[in-house]
Structure 1
């Protein structure tokens, strides 16, 4: 139940031609406390509820528990979420023995594209595609829970 994940900005849209799938995701947060976030998500035709714990010092690892729920349940819970529902498309791109998940954001986060890779170990090596930009692992402003409260279009830096 420990998620080990690294995040990167994406330099261009070349990842789209390498994608094996594309899925629309709508998600919101019932709780955005940094010690425990509770996320509700509709991914394609499946609903999910997810609890994430606080990240470790490096920002790479944290507790994660996820359960499938019906789309109807997820839709009802989305209505209870804090302000800032996220809308994005997720592309899955295989690279070596890993899969990059690239999220292209819409609405208030349009213009932001983030790639994530899940690993088995914090020090595990992986192939970096040419479209992968700078690493933002552990940068709190790139967490989805924070993007819902402080959208990319409102950033001044």
Structure 2
């Protein structure tokens, strides 16, 4: 499956009152090779194993495969991950015909808030809410796999 996604910084906390869902996410990476990442995620009480391929030149599209696994298996696999476990709260907000996922990071990435929107095509238009800031699609610093090894708090 090809994932088409755009990322933005968030410039206010107004999304919180618009959110219809809020979920705690803990995730780690078994592999952060530039051509593929293998992620283990606890999302609420569910576990997931995800493989993502290398992004296209603009960073909008890439291969993604995801499989739900048990919470126990995810907890066990998190023990095998590379250093740099990521913790965040995900807020889901419906804007027009789309759902934005806003990740509010904690721990070593505290202070970073990123919104993502998945699209059905690279040139699909979508409504931009007032709280949406600068686009960071394709900037690898904002990839979770990079945030695990070079956290936001270390940026100058």
Q: TM-score, normalised by structure 2?
A: 1.00
Aligned twin of 1:153: 153
SS of structure 2 residue aligned to 1:76: helix
SS of structure 2 residue aligned to 1:130: coil
Q: CA RMSD in A?
A: 0.3
SS of structure 1 residue aligned to 2:68: strand
Aligned twin of 1:119: 119
Aligned twin of 1:11: 11
1:65 is aligned to 2:70: no
SS of structure 2 residue aligned to 1:77: helix
CA shift, 1:135, in A, is 0.1
**Number of equivalences:** 156
Cα distance in 2 for residues equivalent to 1:62 and 1:125: 19
Q: Which runs of 5+ in 2 are unaligned?
A: none
Once the two structures are superposed, residues 85-144 of structure 1 have per-residue CA deviations (whole angstroms, 9 ceiling, x without a partner) of: 000000000011100000000000000000000000000000000000000000000000
Please list, as runs of the form range in 1=range in 2, the aligned pairs for 1:1-157 lying within 5 A after superposition. 1-156=1-156
SS of structure 2 residue aligned to 1:17: helix
CA shift, 1:80, in A, is 0.1
SS of structure 2 residue aligned to 1:38: strand
Cα distance in 2 for residues equivalent to 1:48 and 1:76: 12
Cα distance in 1 for residues equivalent to 2:95 and 2:20: 11
Cα distance in 2 for residues equivalent to 1:101 and 1:40: 18
CA shift, 1:34, in A, is 1.2
